[in-house]
Amino acid sequence: MVAPKHVGIIPDGNRRWAKENLKNFLPAYSSGGDNLVNSLRYLFSRGVECVSFYGFSLKNFKRGEVEKKIIFKLIDNYFSKMEALVDELNLRVIFAGRIEKFPESLFKKFKEIEERTKDRERVVIPLIGYDGLDELEFAAEKSKKNGGTLRENLFVPTSVPPVDLLIRTGDEHRVSGYLTYLTTYSELYFSKKLWPDFSLRDLQSALDWYTPRERRFGE
């Protein structure tokens, strides 16, 4: 099987899963976080070189203060698990988005792990405080001010390949501004399952679906 170089994940459905299972947001996001760690380990074991995922969109900052505090706390709690996985698999971490909008304690952790892992080859990219149009506007303004192409001024460096396979759970059929510049020719895989219920078997099904695709890149 020829693995995609870059797999993107939109892990949608945590809040709906909480409602359907009569739980509050905390166990829903906790289950989703565990699933993400397992999914990352599996994808890299299958030969994928880069995995990106939506962690927190720029628009999510508009959510209620209670829910945001829960999410920030979970991000902080899962940071140690993610850091252990990153070191175990020798991954580079690149955060895409407006990470300066997060609490100072999280912002410092984000910058520290980026610096510590910058020389590694395989990459994991959390989209944190991210919006596709915001990234393009940011890159355009930076290009105008400092020079360079639009691609050279995106949140992610030019070494990051385009997204080959974009997986979205939760039965939503849209890309929600996901790495807009890098998803022009992505193969889109949609699952009806909510993210906490999306198993490794489901993940393998997505990879199997991708393998026979004939990619023409607009030609």
Quick check: helix, strand or coil at residue 125? strand
Q: Residue 87 catalytic? A: no
Nearest-angstrom CA–CA distance, 20 and 6: 32
Query: What are the tokens at 127?
Result: 């989209």
Neighbours of 199 (CB within 10 A): 13
Q: Residue 77 catalytic? A: no
DSSP 162: P
The closest alpha carbon to 5, from 41, 37, 52, belongs to 52
Nearest-angstrom CA–CA distance, 135 and 38: 28
Which one is catalytic: 38, 60, 76, 202?
A: 60
Which one is catalytic: 12, 131, 134, 164?
A: 12
Where does residue 119 rank: exposed (0-12), middle (13-18), buried (19+ CB within 10 A)?
exposed
**Residues designated catalytic:** 12, 60
